[in-house]
Amino acid sequence: MNTIRSPQPPPSLTRSVEDYLKSVFHLTSQGGFATTSDIAEMLDVAPPSVSGMMKRLSETGLIEHVPYRGVQLTPQGRRAALQMIRRHRILESYLTSKLGYDWGDVHVEAERLEHAVSEKLIERMADALGEPRYDPHGAPIPTAAGEIEEAELVPLAESEVGSSLVLQEVGDEHPARLHYLAEQGLTPGVRLTVIDRQPFNGPTIVRLGDGTTRVVGQELALLLFCRSSDGE
Amino acid sequence: MNTIRSPQPPPSLTRSVEDYLKSVFHLTSQGGFATTSDIAEMLDVAPPSVSGMMKRLSETGLIEHVPYRGVQLTPQGRRAALQMIRRHRILESYLTSKLGYDWGDVHVEAERLEHAVSEKLIERMADALGEPRYDPHGAPIPTAAGEIEEAELVPLAESEVGSSLVLQEVGDEHPARLHYLAEQGLTPGVRLTVIDRQPFNGPTIVRLGDGTTRVVGQELALLLFCRSSDGE
DNA sequence: ACAGTGCATTAGCCTAGACTAAATTTCAAC
DNA sequence: GTTGAAATTTAGTCTAGGCTAATGCACTGT
Ligand SMILES: [Mn+2]
Ligand SMILES: [Mn+2]
Ligand SMILES: [Mn+2]
Ligand SMILES: [Mn+2]
């Protein structure tokens, strides 16, 4: 018979699949492959679970798997990943702006909600917020069409002593660290000058826009992604 | 060793379990048992799936199962069910009030979100709304402590001809019906007088507060839950 | 060239939660 | 009381997505 199929109703991805796709996206954002063990660590599952999932995902055409090398997203997988990232970041923005959430608490909430919200709800939230371009941690929000801004950012921990920077984006997964950073005034948009750095993975010392200084240990300085502001 | 266990971290119910508990709650709200086939129909699963789940739920102490008779919620199951119903109804209220959702569309959205939101998010939404007591369909919202208002309502289809009623609550699961009812001005709070009813499951004729009349077919009249307003 | 090591994969098992088909129980009707 | 229909449960199967233990591959160093 070989009946012509009507345009398949989108099979709706599971929560697990959606989180795997996001992980692959993040791990390949600098190009290259995402490895089994990196994905396993990011999602806190055992490596064989990843192998199993990668097999299923490549059968459904969401990723390309090169055995023993790693995986990359197909265009279809990338679209799905960017959609999830848009959901996540719009949710974080909405919770922060409209429901008084602390920026340290939104990530964990968004991590669950992103799998349950409809496209329609996300667009209503985006609309209520005025189509925000960045989430509360400074990460760019993909458009509904699946475009995302790519910036070259350097972690403060790896910045050049003497450079003038703008803090652009902060790693969003650690509530306690975020809480502390906010107290220190280290939030996206702040200007800073790198005064010094201690050796042996020591702290970075910065001067803020208001003239005060901060001593930032390496662990935190690795979470602070900056762009150069020399030309400004 | 027999170590003393600290107060078990709540095992966090699955989406399925949460929906089964809600079904049992609704089916037993008039007392008695929820039957396997009623639950199966309400959740659109096969009866053996229900039997299987009922077994698991009675093992975890959420329901009491009398074989071949049906099930009832334990106090623990009832608490969990009421918590889900609170979440569902707060979500419906929030989507309607704050994000411009049509009252016909909120149910399906809430049906998914109720399993993903945290207690904290629900309470923030409730707070933003001013602790609403009824959802957009007129259903009472349980308190955070697990209290729910119980009213004796009669479906318009079974009301007495000649009586004066207030439309209190409308079945919330059918977007198209809800859309139509809103057009007809048949929304919670409206006063109506039952003028007549045609025989053989025919329509009920009502006069609204503004003097206009409506002819309501039985299928819809079964969704309109009213309380008497004779004394007012 | 080859041994060793570390990562990746396979093999095999488990649970939740669906399903269908078969067996069992209940209950109403005779 | 027996019988038959309807509801319920059991038996057996399936998929998704985890896990551990065992095996296989690839690169590094000699
Ligand atoms: Mn986040
Ligand atoms: Mn997630
Ligand atoms: Mn509802
Ligand atoms: Mn639900």
Q: Looking at the domain assignment, is residue B181 inside a domain? A: yes
Domain count, chain A: 3
CATH code where residue A202 lies: 2.30.30.90
Q: Looking at the domain assignment, is residue A48 inside a domain? A: yes
Optimal mutation site among A14, A112, A119, A125, interface B, most CBs of chain B within 10 A: A112
The per-residue DSSP string of A58-96 comes to HHTTSEEEETTTEEEE-HHHHHHHHHHHHHHHHHHHHHH
Q: Looking at the domain assignment, is residue B79 inside a domain? A: no
pLDDT digit string, tens, across residues A95-139: 999 999 999 999 999 999 999 999 999 999 999 999 999 999 999
What span, in angstroms and rounded, lies between the C-alpha atoms of B106 and B160? 32
Instruction: Say yes or no: A215 and A159 in one domain.
Output: yes
- The segments of chain B whose pLDDT lies below 70 read 1-11, 230-232
- pTM for this model (two decimals): 0.93
Tell whether A13 lies on the interface with B, counting CB pairs under 8 A.
no
Tell if the CB–CB gap between A125 and B99 is shorter than 8 Å: yes
Instruction: Say yes or no: A145 and A171 in one domain.
Output: no
Task: Select from B127, B150, B173 the last residue of a domain.
Answer: B150
Instruction: Say yes or no: B161 and B223 in one domain.
Output: yes
What span, in angstroms and rounded, lies between the C-alpha atoms of A216 and A170? 13
Instruction: Say yes or no: A41 and A98 in one domain.
Output: no
CATH code where residue B95 lies: 1.10.10.10
Instruction: Say yes or no: A118 and A165 in one domain.
Output: no
Which one of the ligands is nearest to A106 CA? 1
Instruction: Say yes or no: A126 and A172 in one domain.
Output: no
Task: Select from A99, A131, A150 the last residue of a domain.
Answer: A150
Binned at pLDDT 50, 70 and 90, residue A229 comes out as confident
Q: Looking at the domain assignment, is residue B4 inside a domain? A: no
Instruction: Say yes or no: B128 and B100 in one domain.
Output: yes
* DSSP collapsed to 3 states, chain B: CCCCCCCCCCCCCCHHHHHHHHHHHHHCCCCCCECHHHHHHHHCCCHHHHHHHHHHHHHCCCEEEECCCEEEECHHHHHHHHHHHHHHHHHHHHHHHHHCCCCCCHHHHHHHHCCCCCHHHHHHHHHHHCCCCECCCCCECCCCCCCCCCCCCEEHHHCCCCCEEEEEEECCCCHHHHHHHHHCCCCCCCEEEEEEECCCCCCEEEEECCCCEEEECHHHHCCEEEEECCCC
Q: Looking at the domain assignment, is residue B83 inside a domain? A: no
The minimal CB distance from A112 to the residues B98, B99, B116 is found for B116
Instruction: Say yes or no: B214 and B159 in one domain.
Output: yes
Instruction: Say yes or no: B145 and B158 in one domain.
Output: no
Tell whether A225 lies on the interface with B, counting CB pairs under 8 A.
no
The residue lying closest to nucleotide D8, measuring its CA against C1', is B68
The range of the structural domain enclosing residue A60 comes to: 15-73
pLDDT digit string, tens, across residues A55-102: 999 999 999 999 999 999 999 999 999 999 999 999 999 999 999 999
Average pLDDT for A189-195: 96
